[in-house]
Amino acid sequence: MIKKVKIGIIQSKISDNIQKNINSAIKNIKKAASKKAKIICVPELFLSNYFCQTESHSNFKLAEKIPSRTTKIFCELAKDLQIVLMISLFEKKNTWLLS
């Protein structure tokens, strides 16, 4: 027997405001879950405008340690909605891992 799983792929306008992007993602994730999606994917690096076309040291301020406030928000949301949530974050480099 083949079991079908509904996948939600979110497209959204991204702003320069991280909190606004988080709120928008949460709203869209809840909407996809309400339509029975069990695996939901948000846009790549959805917390800010996509910056990976060029390397700029000023973008390093957008990196965050994992776990973080953001991962906590989305882990709790995935647990509450009983979904698999695919998110992409700019991870701060842990130099202790390199030694």
Domain boundaries, the chain: 7-98
The closest alpha carbon to 40, from 11, 72, 7, 69, belongs to 7
Contact indicator for 52, 14 with CB cutoff of 8 Å: no
Pairing of strands 39-41, 84-86: parallel
Predicted TM-score (pTM) of this structure: 0.81
Of the two residues 57 and 17, the one the predictor is more confident about is: 17
pLDDT of residue 45: 79
pLDDT digits (tens, 9 = 90+) for 12-52: 998 989 999 999 999 999 999 999 999 999 998 788 765 66
User: Please, which residues have CB within 8 angstroms of residue 37's CB and are 6 or more apart in sequence?
Assistant: 6, 7, 8, 83
Per-residue pLDDT band for 61 (boundaries 50, 70, 90) equals low
